[in-house]
Structure 1
Amino acid sequence: MILVSACLCGVNCKYNGGNNLNTKVLELLKQGKAIPVCPEQLGGQSTPRPAHEINNSTGAEVLDGKARIVGPEGDDATAEFLKGAYETLKIAKECEAKVAILKARSPSCGYGKIYDGTFTGNKIDGNGVTAELLSRNGITIYTEEDVKAYERK
């Protein structure tokens, strides 16, 4: 089974109430190969909600207690993001997922590059908190930007 970001399946769970529909990811769901999750909703965040970014750091530092996830007004949502990451990991273990296709650049799901915490669109190398936790637990991560690489496997 493949874990996928729910927003990529057209679920309106994105911070602004929209989605990030990706037809290739949606097709995996329709074929019964994927389970959609939204770590931010699983952590208790509402939709819509303020955008959040990891404060000048990465998901690795959040998991290690060295960084926070904040909104543009400084609200701290670290606890909710961590809860969502661990709830997502529980689902991954229950369905024996070995692969996840997650939303690029997200503070939860981003893999390889995430926004830098300045809310200016700048990116840094690193993973979101959920992507980092799944990766630490042996799950191979892709983003919607490299679904083709997954399909070639």
Structure 2
Amino acid sequence: MKDQKETILVSACLLGANCRYDGNNGKNEDVLALLDQYHLVPVCPEQLGGMQTPRPPAERRGESVINQSGEDVTAFFVKGADETLKLAEIYGCKRAILKERSPSCGRGMIYDGTFSGKKIPGSGVTAALLEENGIEVTGESSIKSGTVRRDSR
């Protein structure tokens, strides 16, 4: 009998992988609890794009991604988004749970590019590409008690 669990892409940092820009993780127990009901495919678009860990923080400025040193790192983010989309297609993922506010993974709200902590409406490079390709993207705050709440759009 074939396993009927849905497969969902998940930001690897939410599962406890130390892949965030600062070398830490964003381990989220509610996301980890999903392992009982779903197959979770961990992804870190920034690492998939060739960036090292740790790395300088980066934020979106329009269509570009600039790190705190002023270097344009957009190409890494675009490559990581493309690789993440390939994984979603390989695994048949229709949904993704991604790290909120990230320049890669944030959906709906991201930092404004000034490194001041100010948030603006927008999405990260990977979140936007996944949504453009029909994959529903939610952030970790949409996960409660081992269930994925559907975004109200």
TM-score by length of 2: 0.88
Moved over 4 A (4+): none
Give SS of 2:89's match. helix
Cα distance in 2 for partners of 1:120, 1:35 equals 32
Give SS of 2:54's match. coil
Find the partner of 1:46 among 52, 57, 62.
Answer: 52
Residues 1:2 and 2:8 aligned together: yes
- C-alpha displacement of 1:40: 0.2
Cα distance in 1 for partners of 2:68, 2:44 equals 21
Q: Is contact 1:9–1:29 with CA below 8 Å preserved after alignment?
A: no
Cα distance in 1 for partners of 2:80, 2:98 equals 14
Q: Label 1:79 to 1:138 Cα distance change in 2 as closer, same or farther (>3 A).
A: same
Residues 1:130 and 2:126 aligned together: yes
Cα distance in 1 for partners of 2:97, 2:149 equals 14
Question: Which ranges in structure 2 are unaligned for 5 or more consecutive residues?
Answer: 1-6
Give SS of 2:23's match. coil
Residues 1:100 and 2:96 aligned together: yes
Cα distance in 1 for partners of 2:22, 2:31 equals 21
Q: Label 1:112 to 1:16 Cα distance change in 2 as closer, same or farther (>3 A).
A: same
Aligned to 1:28: 34
Give SS of 1:101's match. strand
Over the matched positions of the two proteins, sequence identity in percent amounts to 56
RMSD: 1.6
From the two aligned structures, give the one with the greater strand fraction: 2
Q: Is contact 2:21–2:54 with CA below 8 Å preserved after alignment?
A: yes
- C-alpha displacement of 1:148: 3.2
Find the partner of 2:18 among 12, 20, 23.
Answer: 12
Q: Is contact 2:98–2:140 with CA below 8 Å preserved after alignment?
A: yes
TM-score by length of 1: 0.88
Question: Which ranges in structure 1 are unaligned for 5 or more consecutive residues?
Answer: 58-66
Number of equivalent positions: 143
- C-alpha displacement of 1:143: 0.2
Aligned to 2:109: 113
Q: Label 1:24 to 1:74 Cα distance change in 2 as closer, same or farther (>3 A).
A: same
